Amino acid sequence: MSDTTHSPTSGATQSTAGAWATGFAMFAGAVLIVTGICQALAGIAALFRDQVYVATPNYIYSFDVTAWGWVHIILGAALALTGLGVIQGQTWARVVGILLASLSIIANFLFIPHYPIWSIVIIALDVAVIWALVRETRELA
């Protein structure tokens, strides 16, 4: 007769941790896709109707709104594609997702004078994505 020292709940605990990690990954992937699409749409608005955004003449990080439009389109497309990779469980996508969400925080921080509420909401979502992706990476390790 063999003696096992495993507790009866250790398998259930590991299963629950794995479920949480998967749930956080799905959350992060979905939010990356949604924020990416929204940022791309905001970028398109900046390209075609730049009067939508507030002009701030004395802003130290002043760029033309058209330039901000391109930044948001490129960043948004990259975020959405990375979100698809995160949902598919790709390891590279978690790392790239953390990097792109960090860049998105910086870009939206600089964009606050042009569209403040939008920028703050996207920053908050990006922080949640980074937290979920870091948490998932640690739980999988």
Q: What tens digit of pLDDT does each residue of 110-121 get? A: 888 878 898 999
* Residue 97 CA from chain centroid, whole number: 6
What's the chain's average pLDDT?
82
Q: How many CA atoms lie within 13 A of 27 on its CB side?
A: 18
Q: Assign 126 a pLDDT band (cuts: 50, 70, 90).
A: very high
* Residue 105 CA from chain centroid, whole number: 9
Query: Rounded distance, CA 50 to CA 66, Å?
Result: 7
* Residue 93 CA from chain centroid, whole number: 11
- CB 116, CB 4: distance < 8 Å: no
Mind listing the pLDDT tens digit for each residue in 76-92? 999 999 999 999 989 89
Query: Rounded distance, CA 25 to CA 131, Å?
Result: 10
- Tokens at residue 49, please? 């109707």
pTM strictly above 0.75? yes
Q: Assign 68 a pLDDT band (cuts: 50, 70, 90).
A: confident
Taking alpha carbons only, the member of 141, 43, 15 closest to residue 53 is 43
